[in-house]
């Protein structure tokens, strides 16, 4: 098995702003694992708050010696090896995990979702995420959201009410909200959430700083809508501490080292009676189809990145009734352009 690494600069359709920063271009790391003429594709796209960069991901991946393994189907062993190479580096580890699953699917002639017992017909609708912007631009992006049946609005700006009023005038689509830790006062946050409940908002993600466990737990206790942890949850071992503090978790492959651990997190979250969302960062169809393979096991999906970038090196996934379509192709089911 041979691993190759390629940084790739993604261009955003619109500048993308969340509470705290804006991006217009974004470098993701694409990998390939080759074995006996088969190629598995993987991706690790850095998220700013995880502390990884294109350089750190590349440096980690350069240490990964897959030549020592003869059988790509030994996924657990290979992932245990990459995990112990260094702590952290979850995004770099995700690139290997995704490529191995794609490769294993191709070798076994079965789709990745089948490896996890996910059924395509259980795919939840995916949200289209709208970054922080002027109310006019937010509405323009909603108008452009063709094919999507849910929108997720990023808040945590100084004009949250202005943005939301424009959204509720613009669309009848179900709305979800992500504050990205941007709310500072628990009572003000709860007042906002109570109003959002009247507007039939489906859930609110990460209202306050991830380290403010009491503040987020207080909001969850009083909130009429589900409160979902995102920045507060990373790997499997972070899950138990969140029981009671949130109603659910947003799993992102790059936070938790990939598909193998994400599937364990879904199982564990169910045992804890927590809802599950599968989310994404700015990434190509490769990372998205890896998340999509697990999405039928989740309550919510936020896998919209291919529609927010202009130079996806892979074909854009198919949307049907606002849901990503899982095809019968072996592996991730990536299509070429
Ligand atoms: Mg989020």
pLDDT digits (tens, 9 = 90+) for 261-299: 999 999 999 999 999 999 999 999 999 999 999 999 999
CA gap 50, 66 in Å, rounded: 25
Interior CA angle at 319 toward 313 and 320, to 5°? Answer: 160
The pLDDT score that the predictor gives to residue 20 is: 72
For residue 165, what pLDDT band results from cuts at 50, 70 and 90?
very high
Alpha-carbon Rg for the chain in angstroms: 19
Residue by residue, DSSP assigns 230-297 as STT--SGGGSGGGBTTBSEEEE-HHHHTSHHHHHHHHHHHHHTT-EEEE---S--HHHHHHHHHHGGG
CA gap 329, 141 in Å, rounded: 32
The pLDDT score that the predictor gives to residue 144 is: 86
312 three-state secondary structure: coil
The pLDDT score that the predictor gives to residue 145 is: 82
Structure tokens at 56: 């750190």
Angle between helices 75-85 and 259-271 (to 10 degrees): 100
**Ligand 1 center to residue 177 CA distance, Å?**
9
**Ligand 1 center to residue 155 CA distance, Å?**
10
Give mean pLDDT, residues 246-253. Answer: 98
The pLDDT score that the predictor gives to residue 199 is: 95
Give mean pLDDT, residues 204-227. Answer: 97
The dihedral region occupied by 117, where left means phi > 0, alpha psi between -120 and 50, and beta the remainder, is left
More confident residue, 337 or 220: 220
**Ligand 1 center to residue 284 CA distance, Å?**
18
Q: Residue 13: name the closest of 230, 310, 294, 257 by CA.
A: 310
- For residue 311, the 8-state DSSP code is -
CA gap 322, 150 in Å, rounded: 8
**Ligand 1 center to residue 229 CA distance, Å?**
8
Q: Across all residues in the chain, what is the average pLDDT?
A: 96
Residue 155 has pLDDT above 80, yes or no: yes
**Ligand 1 center to residue 281 CA distance, Å?**
9
- Within 8 A by CB and 6+ apart from 174, the residues are 149, 150, 151, 200, 201, 202
Residue 21 has pLDDT above 80, yes or no: no
The pLDDT score that the predictor gives to residue 188 is: 95
The pLDDT score that the predictor gives to residue 178 is: 96
The pLDDT score that the predictor gives to residue 125 is: 98
The proportion of the chain whose per-residue pLDDT surpasses 70, expressed as a percent, equals: 100
Residue 221 has pLDDT above 80, yes or no: yes
Q: Where are the beta strands (DSSP E) in 116-231?
A: 127-130, 150-154, 175-178, 204-205, 227-229
**Ligand 1 center to residue 67 CA distance, Å?**
37
The pLDDT score that the predictor gives to residue 182 is: 92
**Ligand 1 center to residue 205 CA distance, Å?**
6
**Ligand 1 center to residue 278 CA distance, Å?**
10
Q: Kind and range of the H or E element at 91?
A: helix 90-108
- Least confident among 131-145, 230-244, 308-322: 131-145
Classify each residue of 251-280 as buried b or exposed e, where b means 16 or more C-beta atoms within 10 Å of its C-beta.
Answer: bbbbbbbbbbbbbebbebbeeeebbbbbbb
**Ligand 1 center to residue 206 CA distance, Å?**
7
For residue 193, what pLDDT band results from cuts at 50, 70 and 90?
very high
CA gap 303, 287 in Å, rounded: 9
**Ligand 1 center to residue 180 CA distance, Å?**
6
Place of tokens 């393979």: 293
**Ligand 1 center to residue 100 CA distance, Å?**
27
The pLDDT score that the predictor gives to residue 166 is: 94
Residue 19 has pLDDT above 80, yes or no: no
**Ligand 1 center to residue 208 CA distance, Å?**
11
Give mean pLDDT, residues 78-102. Answer: 98
**Ligand 1 center to residue 102 CA distance, Å?**
26
The pLDDT score that the predictor gives to residue 236 is: 98
**Ligand 1 center to residue 181 CA distance, Å?**
9
- Least confident among 21-25, 63-67, 311-315: 21-25
CB-count burial class (<10 Å; 0-12, 13-18, 19+) for 240:
exposed
Q: Residue 249: name the closest of 259, 267, 257, 113 by CA.
A: 267
Residue 84 has pLDDT above 90, yes or no: yes
Length of the chain: 337
CA gap 274, 266 in Å, rounded: 9
**Ligand 1 center to residue 90 CA distance, Å?**
17
Partners of 278 in the beta sheet? 251, 301
The pLDDT score that the predictor gives to residue 37 is: 97
**Ligand 1 center to residue 176 CA distance, Å?**
11
The pLDDT score that the predictor gives to residue 48 is: 87
The pLDDT score that the predictor gives to residue 23 is: 85
**Ligand 1 center to residue 188 CA distance, Å?**
20
**Ligand 1 center to residue 74 CA distance, Å?**
33
């Amino acid at each position: 098995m041979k691993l190759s690494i390629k940084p790739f600069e993604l261009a955003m359709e619109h500048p993308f702003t969340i509470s705290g920063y804006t991006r217009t271009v974004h470098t993701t790391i694409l990998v390939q694992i080759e074995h006996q003429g088969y190629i598995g594709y993987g991706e690790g796209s850095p998220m700013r708050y995880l502390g990884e960069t294109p350089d750190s991901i590349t440096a980690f991946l350069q240490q990964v010696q897959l030549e020592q393994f003869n059988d790509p189907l030994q996924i657990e062993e290979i992932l245990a090896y990459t995990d112990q190479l260094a702590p952290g580096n979850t995004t770099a580890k995700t690139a290997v995990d995704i490529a191995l699953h794609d490769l294993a699917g191709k070798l076994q002639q079965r789709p990745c979702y089948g490896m996890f017992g996910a059924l395509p017909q259980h795919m939840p609708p995916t949200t289209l995420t709208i970054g922080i912007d002027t109310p006019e631009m937010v509405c323009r992006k909603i108008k452009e959201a063709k094919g999507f049946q849910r929108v997720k609005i990023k808040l945590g700006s100084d004009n949250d009410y202005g943005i939301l009023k424009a959204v509720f005038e613009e669309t009848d689509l179900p709305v979800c909200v992500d504050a990205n830790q941007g709310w500072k006062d628990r009572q003000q946050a709860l007042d906002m959430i109570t109003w959002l409940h009247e507007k039939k908002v489906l859930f609110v993600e990460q209202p306050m700083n991830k380290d403010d466990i009491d503040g987020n737990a207080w909001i969850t206790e009083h909130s009429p809508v589900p409160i979902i942890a995102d920045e507060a949850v990373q790997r499997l071992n972070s899950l138990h501490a969140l029981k009671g503090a949130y109603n659910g978790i947003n799993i992102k492959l790059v936070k938790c080292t990939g598909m193998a651990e994400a599937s364990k997190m879904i199982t564990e979250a169910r045992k804890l009676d927590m809802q599950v969302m599968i989310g994404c960062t700015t990434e190509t169809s490769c990372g998205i189809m890896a998340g999509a393979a697990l999405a039928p096991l989740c309550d919510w999906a936020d896998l919209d990145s291919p529609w927010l970038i202009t130079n996806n090196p892979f074909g854009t996934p198919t949307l049907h009734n606002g849901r990503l379509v899982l095809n019968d192709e072996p592996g991730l089911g990536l299509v070429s352009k």
